């Protein structure tokens, strides 16, 4: 299996507490489109990844 086989819920930031990964083309949890995980939210090459994690960690854990 390669990384490109894994999709991530395109709406996870609003629908879930953390990325929802799936091998399907739709999120098994909320039914949103599952997109290729190449531009992963936690991609270490993503210059904004740490910022987003900091922002989420700093905020209240609410839904």
Q: Provide the binding-site residues for Zn ion, judged by CB under 5 A.
A: 9, 15, 20, 27, 29-30, 32
From the CB of 17, what's the least distance to Zn ion, in Å? 11
Supply the minimum distance, in Å, between the C-beta of residue 63 and Zn ion: 14
Nearer to Zn ion among residue 22 and residue 49 (C-beta): 22
Whole-number Å distance between alpha carbons of 28 and 33: 10
Q: How far is CA 3 from each of CA 14, 18, 44, 63, rounded to the nearest angstrom?
A: 23, 18, 14, 30
- The residue among 30 and 49 lying less far from Zn ion, judged by its C-beta, is 30
Locus of tokens 């270490």: 44
């Amino acid at each position: 299996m390669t990384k490109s086989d894994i999709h991530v819920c395109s709406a996870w930031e609003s629908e879930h507490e953390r990325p929802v990964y799936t091998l399907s083309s739709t999120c098994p949890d909320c039914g949103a489109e599952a997109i290729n995980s190449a531009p992963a939210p936690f991609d270490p090459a993503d210059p904004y990844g740490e910022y987003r994690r900091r922002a989420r960690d700093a905020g209240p854990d609410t839904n």
